Every structure is written in structure tokens, then in C-alpha cells.
Amino acid sequence: MSASELAGKKAIVTGGGRGIGKAIAVAFAEHGADVAVIGRTAETLDGTAAEVRAKGRTAATKVADLTEVANIPDLFTELSAAIGGFDILVNSAGIQLTAPSLDVTEEDWDAILDANLKALFFCCQAGGRAFLEAGSGKIINLASTFSVVGFPEFAVYCASKGGVMQLTRALASEWAAHGVNVNAIAPAAVRTEMNAYLLDDENFLKGFLPAVPAGRVGQPSDIAGAAVFLASAASDFVHGHLLFVDGAYTAV
């Protein structure tokens, strides 16, 4: 794809201060888009915004807890005004819990589902309102290989990401006829701050890497290219798709 693939486009990226969300935000800027990022830490958001501006694009930031879903419409209105509208929404914010299922508490369950599924739905709703009115728009949700594959001690995370997959399909079936694309990316293990505790564990890697034919864990940049495709005109007839970026983990 060309460096101007997203020229003139405006994107909001949740979880844009670090990891996959940051990589996507910077990749969007590299391809010509202005980008607003939402996250919980001002310092990391400012770092992303600086990289976006270094690409010659407009950037905006907002510190927010998206599990406070009543605030989401106003957040999107504010950020849309800051960058001159928005055509693309990436829902990358989320959290992860690793624990034996017998040890999971109700509080654990609520925290994961609220962050990974409930907040994501209400972000989709806010984006959908704007995009349906405009007659076009791209929503990209971050799902997981664990949307379709189980893994020990990830029961709640798997449930949340399975929900993201089905939500993506349901919204696509509802909004495709109105010019709105809703798709999801399903990474395998990607080295980010959130899961460094696992990927720095030699015992985990000895058990996991043999199941990845590509022989390595992913990097945030591996996911960014898929997001650029799904945000671009090249994906205009792609609806409700779960795009695996997983080194063939789910192929075997």
C-alpha cells in the first residue's frame, strides 16, 4: 500500500498509548491519517502523539477510563473536534488476567469483561452513530487467537475475546448495508508491556513457541499493517472478518 493510503482520514485509537494501539496509531500517521488516542496514562499518550506529529500529522490525546461508558460519547465528540472529524475507529484498549479458573473472582470477571467487551461495544456504538450518519466508516476491533482457541488459565480473557469476535460479526451484519465496515484483528502472542511477564518466562515460551509455525512471537508492527489494510479503501468489501495475524498458530 502507498504511503498516502489513508490521506485525509481521521482516526480514533483506544489504548493508543502503548503496545499494539500505539503501533497502529503511528502506522496510520505514516499512511497519511490524523490520529487521536485514548488511554489511561498521559505520558504514554503524549509519546504516541509526538510520533504522530513527527510524521507531519495532527494528533490529539485524552486520558480516560473507558469502563466509565457513560462518558464515551462526549470523549468521542471532543476528540473528533480536535482532529476535524473521524472516519476510522480502532478499539485496542483492553486488559489481561492469567489465573487458574478456580481462583477467578467475580471482581476479576467484571474487570475483564467491562474493559474488553462492554467498553468496546459502547465505543463501537459511539463510532457507529457517527459513521451511519456519514454513510461510511471503518471500525477495527482487537480480538485474539483466543477468540477461537482455548488456553489454560485464560478462561475469562478467552470469553471476552470470543465476545469481541461475535460482536464484530453482529455489528457487521447490521451496518454493512449502510457503508460501515466492522472487522477484527486476531493476534497471537504479541510482545507488549501487558504480556511481558509471560513472554519473558522461558517456561511459557518453551510450551508456546512450538505451536507457532512461524517460530516467534509477534511484534506490534506485525499488527499495524493489518490495521492499515482494514482502515483503507482496499477493504471496502470486507465485513465481519476476523483477520488472524498469528504466525499460523490457528492453522495447525
Antiparallel, parallel or unpaired: β 137-142 and 59-63: unpaired
**Is 197 part of the annotated catalytic residue set?**
no
Which distant-in-sequence residues (6+ apart) come within 8 Å of 146 by Cβ?
154, 157, 158, 161, 162
Residue 246 has φ and ψ, to the nearest 5°, of -145, 15
Amino acid at 219: Q
Order across the sheet with 180-187: list the strands: 59-63, 34-39, 10-14, 88-91, 137-142, 180-187, 242-245
Catalytic residue among 28, 146, 154, 157: 157
How far is it, in rounded angstroms, from Cα 53 to Cα 165? 33
Catalytically active residues are 157
